[in-house]
Copies of this chain bind each other. A is one copy, B any other.
Amino acid sequence: MISRLINEIEKKNAPIVVGLDPMLSYIPEHLMESAYANCGHTLEAAGEAIFYFNKAIIDATEDLIPAIKPQIAMYEQFGIPGLLAFQKTVDYAHKKGILVIGDVKRGDIGSTSAAYATAHLGSIDVGGKTFSPFREDFATVNPYLGSDGINPFIEECNASDKGIFVLVKTSNPSSGEFQDQLIDGHPLYELVGKAVEKWGKNSMDGSYSNVGAVVGATYPEMGKTLRKLMPHAYILVPGYGAQGGKGEDLACFFNRDGLGAIVNSSRGIICAYQKEEYASFGAANFADASRQAVEDMLSDIRSALGKE
């Protein structure tokens, strides 16, 4: 699967992913009103508004972006109707040829981790018929439980041609509380990074592995070290834009081949119309504002990589 992502990134000269992490406060009034008119003040209305919001952003950016990254928590908070909107978003992206990184940060052990891998990347048999529950192409995975939690995902990657990104160094301020703790003189995130490189050997797909890593844009120095420790891992880089990461900080996450990283922006893209910079688009044209924000993000990153 990582080779498919790389193809899309190269085709569009766009090592970026749009985080579709909708809150109701991000959704323009006219979409909310139309959903309320159809479904009343219900979770179903929230799900409908979220899906049409996502759809408009996908429609406005589909020629520019290789992938979306829906954050499942933002859907799960609306219960079953929210998860239906998640599923519809995944399917709509696929219809447009866009890959989907499910930001699900799941992680458990043994048969339970296998069940999560089935839910998000695989398929399940019911009385001889096969169903694919959530149908993402990649999932993010938490490493705290060790190999027992990761191996079932790798088996699913190999069985269904899918990929994962393992949390290594997250973008948030408190990520250091545990991740930066020194073990024999090296921070925990390096130990996890080395494990990612090792796990990745079991699911190579071209020059890169289906086992990637999450490293926050907000920690470029650590990104530099991790880039070297995990030469075969694609790095998913959150924290660009709203969380403070800038294009110039990002070069260190890439390999010399110009590959090896994909940078996520969520609020910076999907809430663009609410920012002063793009306010002139107006709420009615929120998706055009998102397109402009994607173009601006692309020039920032292409220029940092010397790939204009």
Chain A residues with CB under 8 Å of chain B are 21, 23-24, 32, 36, 41-43, 45-46, 71, 73-74, 76-80, 82-84, 87, 105-113, 115-116, 118-119, 124, 126-129, 131, 133-134, 142-149, 167, 170-179, 181-184, 188, 191-192, 195
Contact = CB atoms under 8 A, between A and B. Distances in A.
A80 B73 contact: no
Contact of A174 (B32, B127, B146): B146
Counting from the closest, the 8 A-B pairs by CB-CB distance are A79-B133, A146-B174, A41-B127, A146-B177, A73-B115, A109-B172, A76-B119, A148-B174
B127 A21 contact: no
A110 to B, nearest CB: 7
A124 B78 contact: yes
Contacts of A147: 174, 177
A134 to B, nearest CB: 6
11 contacts: A46-B124, A73-B112, A80-B87, A109-B172, A143-B144, A144-B144, A145-B170, A146-B179, A149-B172, A178-B188, A188-B188
Q: Residue among A71, A110, A126, A179 with the most chain B CB within 10 A?
A: A126
B126 A146 contact: no
A191 B134 CA distance: 36
B36 A170 contact: no
A148 B172 contact: yes
B77 A116 contact: yes
Nearest to A133: B79
A131 B43 contact: yes
A211 to B, nearest CB: 15
Contacts of A133: 43, 76-80, 82
Contacts of A32: 127
A21 B112 contact: yes
Contacts of A79: 87, 119, 131, 133-134
Given A71-B112, A115-B74, A128 B23 contact: no
A146 B175 CA distance: 5
B167 A144 contact: yes
Q: Residue among A78, A182, A184 with the most chain B CB within 10 A?
A: A78
Contacts of A112: 21, 71, 73-74
Contact of A175 (B77, B126, B148): B148
Q: Residue among A133, A149, A188 with the most chain B CB within 10 A?
A: A133
Contact of A143 (B108, B178, B195): B178
B115 A77 contact: yes
A28 B253 CA distance: 52
B119 A146 contact: no
B126 A148 contact: no
Contacts of A107: 105, 142
A107 B80 CA distance: 20
A147 B179 CA distance: 12
Contact of A108 (B73, B111, B129): B73
